[in-house]
Amino acid sequence: MKKIALTLAAVAFLAFACTNGSATSPKSTEQDSKVSENAVNTGNPGTQKDGDKKSAISDKPVNLTKQDFLEKVMNYEKNQTEWVYEGDMPALIDFYADWCGPCRIASPVLEELAKEYAGKVRFYKVDTQAEQELAAVFGIRSIPAFLFVPKEGKPTMSNGIARTPEDTKTMFKKMIDEILLGEKPATL
């Protein structure tokens, strides 16, 4: 378990260090998928079978347990030495706690973005108080922390939010577009 934690912490640290907190990532080859995750958590009734995984259109961030994480994001117990993404579209994972003020500011922003990017990007939440193993595996020491997971390539970790909810939304949109969807930034 220590090897897994160290390996994933090193990957997350290198991804964050190499981008200096901002984002560049390989382009995703399958940017547009048709489904979003977890009808049970969102109340959406429609499901579609993806192999053994059920998916549904979701316009809200979905809470992940360790087991959900292993199935939908990365099975770090099985793949201890390399990052193998289990998802079918890019994902943004919010590591948060209920007592965290900045986390409470980020939450409605992420809900808005989940609606805007429904069918293109999955939005997940991991409660670091309830899922301490996941927080430890990713070396989460301050929250909010966000893991941007492209369909292909390595994930990028980012911490904190901007000064205002509007600036935070702009920051997230830029990172989603560049890291997860492989879009080039607009030049001024």
Residue positions annotated with a catalytic role: 100, 103
27 vs 24, 106, 170, 181, CA distance in Å? 9, 26, 20, 7
> For the chain, give me the number of helices (H) and strands (E)?
6, 7
Q: Got the DSSP string for 36-80?
A: -S-HHHH-----EEETTEEE----S-EE--HHHHHHHT--TTT-S
Q: 148 - beta bridge partners? A: 92, 156
Give the other-Cβ count within 10 Å of 34's Cβ: 11
